[in-house]
Structure 1
């Protein structure tokens, strides 16, 4: 869901910009309102998927005071998107933003809930193993491409061996292959096959 129009209206009503606490409250309210989409209730992110995502996202840019600062995407020529905590991005994240560990963890949990729902919706009623689901959530968390990826179509067609091969095609940032993405996709493909 594109939240920008909602945020723009609320910003106009307030007559000021947002504080980080305002953004968290609005995001939570929108998430609660958007959680009525029909998805299989038995699909949830498992520990292997959560560990994989946290391993590759890291909770980076810890400052000497223990808090975390936003940083530009190191693989992007423009630095976009700005990132903080466990790989969180969005219109509310930019240069100068600083969060506590608790804020990083809360945003990760909220973001994961959204990505889990989007993957549930994308796989539909196809029988999906825990490993497949976890790998797809990790892939989507990193790429945002679950709806357009050939791998999703192949999964929905139950062509699982072919779908597993598709992970290796998502290793580029700004047209360049990155070794970190190669390694992450290899781990996702292995989890998908497990």
Structure 2
């Protein structure tokens, strides 16, 4: 299985280091490992990785039994290893009809395997859909790509802040304050202040809510408030469900919310009775990692209310809204850094032509035949250089005068970790990038960027 395939499995399995019962009562630990797992078992992250590799080998072995019949490409192989990891070798045999089905028939049948214990599960529906998409994806050398979203942590506002705790937030016929009833407008203020206008506070959003009739008498803020309030500042927001989901841990809205977080965007949630409230309360989710969510709760900084499991959250949430964020890494101006040698090879370049495309040639000279072209602004992996200032790429040769170093800068993120290796571990952190700090992009490695800073430090960010 490729690194991409392994990351695909990790995304769906998540990683819990304490044994838990899955949807059909099977004791599970780590990345979906079930063999020999017992109640109360606890493992390390390293052990979870070991289990994952071992379990993947079993799945790979199952898929390889049929490879002589199909000659799977890498995407097809990765998709079927993920399927087998989740459903078992027996179901793989059934899916392939023991080698009798065609590639197109296998693709068509993949979505059917979405039940556990006889019940259709939204998580399995989503996994099968993405496995089918991967299975059907043709193999091609990517000529361009977009940086993956980086977690953007919003500013934290609290209802209890003395600056606005006692500020009026009332509908006609009542007397309420931001401290007592303003969780919704505080959440909105966090979003706007982080993404658009640092001067916005809960007072700003409370005033707008009251002026436009969104304060609910003897309650908090109407559910219809968030979309127009955020739209006023050019922020896209969409309500994910119209029916109360409290006590229901799986739905299409749950799936959409989880996808939103995994893509680096945010989710507003109205919670029901439980860990976050005794009645109703708005919170802001900004990160999902290995089964856990990171939260800004406007009423509390207690650890269990700032970070907890997706499973607990999903059972107690009533309503959800998705908030779209811009990509945290943007490409600044194309001029090269003074520190970068024009003879430097093995980096990401950006096509910088005055107009039109950049020709790709079969040999490093202008008389060689044209074998393709790169578009203006396209990112290109540079594999080597020649003494005549031509660069070698995966598709051929391009003239180096039209290639500048690809760069990025930290955007909407106060601190971004640089890691020694492309994986998330505390001991792996080398240093930190700060807002607006620029880096040179060297290459993409399975969704991570290998980068070089102005101080010449090399590491990985995601």
TM-score bracket, normalised by the shorter chain, equals 0.5 to 0.7
From 109, 114, 123, give the equivalent of 1:171.
114
The Cα offsets for residues 109-165 of structure 1, whole Å up to 9 and x where unpaired, read as 1111121112101444421111111010000000004565442238x3461111111
From 11, 14, 26, give the equivalent of 1:58.
14
Matched residues in 1 for 2:41 and 2:8: separation? 26
Q: What is the RMSD computed on CA atoms of the aligned residues?
A: 1.7
Q: Is the 8 A contact 2:84 2:92 kept in 1?
A: no
Q: Is it true that 1:84 corresponds to 2:40 in the alignment?
A: no
Partner residue, 2:55: 111
Provide TM-score, normalisation by structure 1: 0.66
Q: Is the 8 A contact 1:171 1:181 kept in 2?
A: yes
Q: Is the 8 A contact 1:136 1:146 kept in 2?
A: no
Matched residues in 1 for 2:76 and 2:130: separation? 12
Matched residues in 2 for 1:124 and 1:153: separation? 15
- The DSSP-based 3-state class of the residue aligned with 2:31 is coil
What runs of 5+ residues in structure 2 fail to find an aligned partner? Answer: 138-462
Describe how 1:1-194 pairs up with structure 2 within 5 A. Answer: 45-60=1-16, 68-73=17-22, 75-76=23-24, 79=25, 81-90=26-35, 92-146=36-90, 149-153=93-97, 156-157=99-100, 159-194=102-137
Which of structures 1 and 2 has the larger relative contact order (alpha carbons within 8 angstroms, sep 6+)? 1
Higher helix content, 1 or 2: 1
What runs of 5+ residues in structure 1 fail to find an aligned partner? Answer: 1-44, 61-67
Provide TM-score, normalisation by structure 2: 0.28
Q: Greater Rg, structure 1 or structure 2?
A: 2
Count of equivalent residues: 137
Q: Is the 8 A contact 1:69 1:98 kept in 2?
A: yes
- The DSSP-based 3-state class of the residue aligned with 2:34 is coil
Higher strand content, 1 or 2: 2
